[in-house]
């Protein structure tokens, strides 16, 4: 199971701001301010139409499993509850 990104984790606030900025700009993703990893937005992932099973941070499908092939593109820490606000 993928561990959820906690509001107490370093970089949480910056990641939330980056996600919100990417959503406003209509971008498919953003670079995580802490790790530099490409993270897809919830809107982009929803438009794909199905979960890829990679444990993407903003997965709108609530996936918890991940496969190692997608680590470059998915940071592995779902923000699902935040994306549904």
What DSSP state is assigned to residue 47? Answer: H
| Residue at 66 is within a domain | yes
Residue 33 domain flag: yes
**Pairwise pLDDT comparison (85 vs 55), residue with the higher score:** 55
Identify the domain containing residue 77 by its residue range.
12-83
State residue 15 phi and psi, 5-degree precision.
-65, -40
In a domain, 6, yes or no: no
Q: How confident is the model at residue 22 (pLDDT cuts 50, 70, 90)?
A: very high
**Of 3-12, 19-28, 44-53, 71-80, the least confident:** 71-80
The 10 Å Cβ neighbour count of residue 2 is 18
Instruction: Let me know if residue 28 belongs to a domain.
Output: yes
Count of domains for the chain: 1
- Work out the widest C-alpha separation in the chain, in whole angstroms: 31
């Amino acid at each position: 199971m993928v561990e959820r990104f906690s509001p107490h984790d370093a970089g949480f606030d910056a990641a939330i701001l980056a996600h919100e900025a990417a959503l406003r700009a209509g971008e498919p993703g953003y670079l995580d301010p802490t790790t530099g990893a490409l993270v897809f937005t919830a809107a982009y992932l929803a438009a794909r139409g199905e979960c890829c099973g990679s444990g993407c941070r903003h997965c709108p499908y609530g996936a918890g499993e991940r496969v190692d092939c997608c680590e470059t593109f998915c940071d592995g820490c779902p923000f699902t509850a935040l994306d549904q606000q």
